[in-house]
Amino acid sequence: MGKPISPQNPAAFIDDLLADPPAVRARLRRLFEDCEQAFLADNWRRVRPRRAGRPQGFRTR
């Protein structure tokens, strides 16, 4: 599974990123997917239909 991503040691994260970018990218992807499943999935399901009708990059204030 690889090493955990630790905010307590950002220098180690950068070292890992420079040494093995694909492995770090995979770890980040897993982290984001886990967060999406745990926290964001319900909100995203509600927001996605509203966003689908807007042009790419369109923002409102």
Tell me how many degrees the CA angle 14-16-17 measures, rounded to the nearest 5: 60
- pLDDT per position as a tens digit, 3-53: 666 678 888 889 999 999 999 999 999 988 888 877 877 877 777 777 666
Res. 61: pLDDT tops 60:
no
Cα–Cα distance, 22 to 30 (Å, whole number)? 12
